[in-house]
Structure 1
Amino acid sequence: MDETSPVRQWRVPASLPAAKLAGAVLLVALGLLFADGDPVRLALAVLAAALLAGWALRDLVVPVRLAVDAAGLTVVHGFASRRLLPWSAVEAIAVDRRPRLGLASETLEIDAGNSLHLFGRYDLGATPEEVAAALRAARPNPAG
């Protein structure tokens, strides 16, 4: 990848925050429907809905989870900040595959020495294997 190469980004699919917000509304509606005057049931439904809405808010505020350019990788860090990992800091790019609940799960792992960054399919809007291949292809050749 040369210095004039465009930035490539991977982001949360647009439908995901909408689904999370719809789930939050549904939780509140179910809480109201089944509370039967019990404030604890309603409070638990509202709390769960608030957590789900907060998760959706993060998807809306920081939809781009990973970006690559000639300088390195930009990863989401914390709730809504970003961190640039220069290529010299990236030690490994790997895909971890594990069976979970009868299904195979893939996670993109970016090892930057003192930090490990993990991304799933719904963080990237693509399979971790596709993104790993693109990152490896974008990495500058250390000899050149």
Structure 2
Amino acid sequence: MDEISPARQWRVPAKLPAAKIAGAVALVVLGLLFADGDPVRLVLACLAAAGVAGWAARDLIAPVRLAVDPAGLTVIHGFAGRRLLPWSAIEAITVDRRPRLGLTTEILEIDAGSSLHLFGRYDLDTTPEEVADVLRAARPGVTG
């Protein structure tokens, strides 16, 4: 049996929530600058800023997106909840690569039968392939 640490976790990069909050502030400032007395423009800018701020709040409230331990995987569920996926429920751990606009995106896919959990680089603060390798090695009873 492979020796794994009791728990390993992956989280959003520390700078990401700050960038999202800065973006929300920028949206409000732009709304104020370009409103020209039109309340609709300002309200739309503030609504967009509130959405970005909510997105940043999720990163601050629940920064850990994925964790592994001998019992299985803990994944983020809903806005800031967590769900334990026992190893027996996990059917596949794969990395989906897709070229788009000259760039290749990678998504870690964890197939738990009735649910599919997707994680990108900015959810994990590392490449999905590295995380997939760690998860495959940590999975009990699976070789290679």
Please give the range of the TM-score, normalised by the shorter of the 2 chains. Answer: over 0.9
Q: C-alpha distance in 2, partners of 1:5/1:118?
A: 23
* Secondary structure of the structure 1 residue equivalent to 2:114: coil
Which deviates more, 115-124 or 97-106? Answer: 97-106
Q: C-alpha distance in 1, partners of 2:141/2:126?
A: 25
* Secondary structure of the structure 2 residue equivalent to 1:79: coil
Q: C-alpha distance in 2, partners of 1:46/1:74?
A: 34
The normalised TM-score by structure 1 is: 0.95
* Segments of 4+ moved more than 6 angstroms: none
CA RMSD of aligned residues (A): 1.3
Q: C-alpha distance in 2, partners of 1:126/1:20?
A: 19
1:140 corresponds to which residue?
140
2:70 corresponds to which residue?
70
Give the deviation of 1:55 after TM superposition. 0.2
Give the deviation of 1:53 after TM superposition. 0.2
2:30 corresponds to which residue?
30
2:17 corresponds to which residue?
17
Give the deviation of 1:115 after TM superposition. 0.3
Opposite residue 52 of structure 1, the aligned amino acid is: V
Q: Percent identity?
A: 78
1:42 corresponds to which residue?
42
Q: C-alpha distance in 2, partners of 1:142/1:121?
A: 25
Point out where structure 2 has 5 or more consecutive residues left out of the alignment.
none
Q: C-alpha distance in 1, partners of 2:111/2:31?
A: 42
* Secondary structure of the structure 1 residue equivalent to 2:37: coil
2:107 corresponds to which residue?
107
Which deviates more, 107-116 or 95-104? Answer: 95-104
1:83 paired with 2:83, answer yes
Q: Does the 8 Å CA contact 2:136/2:142 hold for their aligned counterparts?
A: no
Opposite residue 64 of structure 2, the aligned amino acid is: V
Q: C-alpha distance in 2, partners of 1:137/1:32?
A: 52
Q: C-alpha distance in 2, partners of 1:100/1:47?
A: 29
Change (3 A) 1:132 1:72: same
* Secondary structure of the structure 1 residue equivalent to 2:65: strand
Q: C-alpha distance in 2, partners of 1:44/1:101?
A: 29
Give the deviation of 1:81 after TM superposition. 0.4
Point out where structure 1 has 5 or more consecutive residues left out of the alignment.
none
Opposite residue 114 of structure 1, the aligned amino acid is: S
Give the deviation of 1:102 after TM superposition. 2.1
